[in-house]
Structure 1
């Protein structure tokens, strides 16, 4: 009788909200699918915002700030997939019979921890060198602020390991988001409600990256050192050496994730009324195969290979997984470096590129997700017909990728040949004694120069927009009428040169169609 009572109390606790045996009555109003969906959507939104939004937006900025190579930035991104791969199988295998909301809550919490780890280099690394006034004119006067320390550059590059660990934590922690969370919604809802709720959940996860791009772009317009006025340094977001406040977004997502993990951990293992609903729910799989697999596979670590073997025997599952893998490989590679591509190809600032990509992503992904669900529902497509539709859409997307092969001419840096060997003209270096520093400026001839000193600039000032401008530049040709000894003639600005390129429209349209087709 005691065992029966304990079993009954345990069963009741499995359908009540609370923590560690505390199940107050006022909290039970939240033991509903609607509140579960709200909290899951917030978690999915934050996950998309940080993983596919802030990280992708910040990569070019992190490369400049910490002297990273593109391959190292790619390794930072790939650590997310490494973390997911490490825990995907054990979490889904053992989590299928465990308390799914609590596992989900742990994942959300550690996602917040990963976001905080990602901001750590900003607070412990030395101050950004351009947060001090840099004197880089001809003739060059050596100053501690302008001396390049190779050891310091290598030390900054070592922070890439912190980013890798942080993104590894991201990957490990977000495994339950698209496995156990989906299973929990499906297990506790009717077939019709389940499709709607899962669709809403995915929509929130889709909007997250788009908002991450837009918000991340806005934050990149804020100088990384918020205690310094960039106008006093002659810096603006259009300056090549500008570093935006990339780290603020990760603080926002870190706090949000930890806060939302609390209510998620309080949801019951099973929602009230689920048992009655399951009794009436239509089974859409081969029950004989399901029972055979359930008898053959038990929740033991030694039986995990057997469970994987059963999955690999399902040819449809295998080929759909391979298709999703290839699609993710292409999509991730493009999205991770899309911001850098738009910067380099079209002369955009990091903030402008992020804002543009965000504005492309929101309508394309949302419209694709909505129309896909509408077509399937309206035409009542079977699984086989859904797969056929996906094949047709994938073929269309394959042709669209050729639009992205159109390229723009690279900006010409005066003094650098095709092989990237520095070749300085005597006119620029005969009297200046310039160091080989990278402090680029844009001349009136629409060419980029490595630094004001290497362009032979002797004077500097600030214009109305607080951008540093340079005059009396020996290497930059000016009109003879402008050569006045009494008037400061602007020969260069501390910005990136812009260029006209028709490929801009092709890239924008191609990105829109690819995102629309993918979702």
Structure 2
């Protein structure tokens, strides 16, 4: 029948895939877009992702401990429903906020001598930033719904599968969870190529996904994955509390698992007994030195993973001058093969060399040391594009190399233009990037072969061979065609993710052997939730 551990594994891993796609993929891919669309600073966008972590951190210890004897598949199904609700709440700002309008920027895109600056940007930015709390609420619901997946799901597997086979089930879960990150990045990258308003005719906007003011379709992915999570909750909740014929397995597993000597703990039956014994249960885990060493070691690794996952696409955008959608797709292309290879390689090494606890610990140390060395990848970056008033002075042609630049995007050539603050960069004919066409002093534009070109730009040096003429500018950033360093970065990052993923399987089997009685654990069997608050890296 369908009430088999293998069938449960399919639905359980499916939910983990959807969960990882959302909170570890889509949320991070749309970070830059949310900042641009809702006028959010990086501190707030980082706090959005950290809200999920803090929610899990606060709830999971208590939830796992107090609900250890509950109907676990039913709890998983309920968690899937709450998770889907969180995805729907996360998309509410799209439907509640005013439609995104490119026209609000166009009124002040060129220089109008002695004109009046357009002030609507400040007001709309302030009001739009209030939607930040919808994202926070959605992430809180994501955290609540995710709690049972990596705790009660693992315990349910342990209670119904032979202990010798449990690591295989855990490895499959880690594979699907890692794959979810990749799916989120790739899926999100594709969606960002679409405009946020599906009813808008993109051809009338005079911009494309390469434009810095482009707002991609950040919201529809959450609706799709949230609906899939809602659908999978039904079969998950239908599994029995214990799979038929597994009582002997539970007895054998109790004998197979040998917790650290002196850390054995069995809670008193009843809710009052559980609450009363909670401090003792926590102390039992804290004094389990091998368990805590494993947890803190993996927590440090997840500190790095969280940092690079949250701001990885944004990092590639700024360091290598990539589009948001391109950076998201490249991040996914790195994570997909490397995470799968890393998990499989870690499991294969354990089986091939029959590694026991000490051998698995050494494997983790070697893999993490390699990860540390490969972090040199983040010292790689392309040279900065010459940016007038930021990295290069105005009238760049007459400046000396290495000349100090005073940070000021206003100059004598544009101070009379009354430019607005919206960032819509243009690339001048002098290969210098300007904050906007207005800041380049461009007084008008022309459409040449269907492409907009700003002309009569007072701040841009005359092109060679045309003395006395003012320069021109094209919408968008200046390119860095001769920079080959992204390929080195992608190669090193590929091996970095492989080494980081190698520790997932051995760390889980080590925890299984050293943790206090698995069914009386308090959430410490998931290293991602053992990070103390100061390790929530994306917030910092």
TM-score range (shorter-chain normalised) is 0.7 to 0.9
Deviations 1:312-349 (A, max 9, x none): 12111011111111111121011100010101111111
Return the structure number with greater relative CO, CA threshold 8 A, min gap 6.
2
Deviations 1:458-493 (A, max 9, x none): 3324455x65332232222343557999xxx99222
Computed over aligned residues only, the root mean square deviation of the Cα atoms, in angstroms, reads 2.6
Gaps of 5+ in 2: 392-403, 502-540
Query: By how many angstroms is 1:420 displaced?
Result: 7.2
Matches of 1:38 and 1:81 in 2, distance apart?
25
Aligned partners of 2:424 and 2:476 also within 8 Å: no
Give the equivalent residue in structure 1 for 2:276: 302
Give the equivalent residue in structure 1 for 2:329: 355
Query: By how many angstroms is 1:425 displaced?
Result: 3.1
Matches of 2:275 and 2:297 in 1, distance apart?
28
TM-score computed with the length of structure 2 as normaliser? 0.84
Give the equivalent residue in structure 2 for 1:508: 490
Give the equivalent residue in structure 2 for 1:101: 73
Give the equivalent residue in structure 2 for 1:383: 357
Deviations 1:238-267 (A, max 9, x none): 101111000111111111111111111111
Matches of 1:411 and 1:77 in 2, distance apart?
30
Q: Structure 2 matches for 1:359-438, cutoff 5 A?
A: 359-416=333-390, 421-430=407-416, 432-438=417-423
Aligned partners of 1:467 and 1:494 also within 8 Å: no
Tell which deviates more after alignment, 489-498 or 192-201.
489-498
Query: By how many angstroms is 1:427 displaced?
Result: 3.0
Matched, 1:443 2:428: yes
Query: By how many angstroms is 1:50 displaced?
Result: 0.4
Query: By how many angstroms is 1:397 displaced?
Result: 1.1
Where 1:116 maps in the other structure, the secondary structure is helix
Query: By how many angstroms is 1:410 displaced?
Result: 2.7
Deviations 1:259-314 (A, max 9, x none): 11111111111111112433555722348969952266875212111111111121
Deviations 1:128-175 (A, max 9, x none): 23166713223269699x543423211111211221121122112211
Where 2:256 maps in the other structure, the secondary structure is coil
Give the equivalent residue in structure 2 for 1:139: 112
Deviations 1:375-395 (A, max 9, x none): 001111001110111011111
Where 1:159 maps in the other structure, the secondary structure is helix
Aligned pair partner of 2:94 in 100, 122, 144: 122
Q: Structure 2 matches for 1:23-422, cutoff 5 A?
A: 29-130=1-102, 134-135=106-107, 136-139=109-112, 146-281=118-253, 283-286=255-258, 293-294=265-266, 300-416=274-390, 421-422=407-408
Query: By how many angstroms is 1:45 displaced?
Result: 0.5
Query: By how many angstroms is 1:62 displaced?
Result: 0.7
Matches of 1:141 and 1:159 in 2, distance apart?
35
Aligned pair partner of 1:493 in 468, 474, 482: 474
Matches of 2:9 and 2:234 in 1, distance apart?
15
Query: By how many angstroms is 1:501 displaced?
Result: 3.1
Aligned partners of 2:52 and 2:143 also within 8 Å: yes
Where 2:473 maps in the other structure, the secondary structure is strand
Number of aligned residues: 485
Aligned partners of 1:224 and 1:244 also within 8 Å: yes
In structure 2, do the counterparts of structure 1 residues 119 and 143 end up closer, same or farther at CA, with 3 Å as the change threshold? Answer: farther
Where 2:172 maps in the other structure, the secondary structure is helix
In structure 2, do the counterparts of structure 1 residues 307 and 433 end up closer, same or farther at CA, with 3 Å as the change threshold? Answer: closer
Aligned partners of 2:320 and 2:381 also within 8 Å: no
TM-score computed with the length of structure 1 as normaliser? 0.87
Aligned partners of 2:409 and 2:439 also within 8 Å: no
Aligned partners of 1:404 and 1:506 also within 8 Å: no
